[in-house]
Amino acid sequence: MVLQRQKHWCLLCLLCIGLVGCSFIDFRRGNDFGSRVRSFSQAIRWSEFEKAQGYVRKREGHVQNPDFDYLKNIKVTKYQSTNKRPAESFEELTSDIILVYEIDYFIKDSYKIKQLSYEQLWWYDIEAGNWFLDSGLPKFEQ
């Protein structure tokens, strides 16, 4: 009887530890996402496109090398999210998160403000343990 109670107590403790561990992993994954998006957003907002490119990783492995010489002439003046709240699902190992931003920018030679809608597709790489941008940098037109 006493042995059976100890066995149940041990199983209950293991279950609680397991649940806390799972919650910690999901919470950390969510925090990682928020910090990655903030860092990427700051890089775009301050027109630091080479830094922003470090967050891009295509799932298929095809690397897009943007024209950084052209991007040096781009100055972002506004970078604003249009999402009320992203549909985040950190429980699923294959979560994808789509964020949409409105970007105002100008080309240094023209000083004419242009706008674009920029949709980001973020995905979680289990092996790397981090979030990456699949959609690439914004497409700034002349």
pLDDT digits (tens, 9 = 90+) for 23-81: 334 444 555 899 999 999 999 999 999 999 999 999 887 777 899 999 999 999 999 99
Q: What does the alpha-carbon distance between residue 76 and residue 120 come to, in Å, rounded to a whole number?
A: 17
The mean predicted confidence, pLDDT, of the chain is 80
Q: Evaluate whether 68 touches 48 at the Cβ level (below 8 Å).
A: no
User: Does position 92 have pLDDT exceeding 70, yes or no?
Assistant: no
User: Does position 86 have pLDDT exceeding 60, yes or no?
Assistant: no
Q: Looking at residue 37, what is its pLDDT?
A: 95
- The predicted model gives 117-127 an average pLDDT of 93
Query: In this structure, what are the phi and psi dihedrals at residue 47, rounded to the nearest 5 degrees?
Result: 55, 35
Cα separation values, 2 from 5, 6, 11, 12, Å = 5, 6, 14, 15
As a CATH number, domain 2-133 is 3.10.450
Q: Looking at residue 35, what is its pLDDT?
A: 94
pTM: 0.72
The two three-digit tokens of residue 55, written as one number: 């967050």
Q: Looking at residue 95, what is its pLDDT?
A: 74
Return the percentage of the chain with pLDDT > 70, whole number. 70
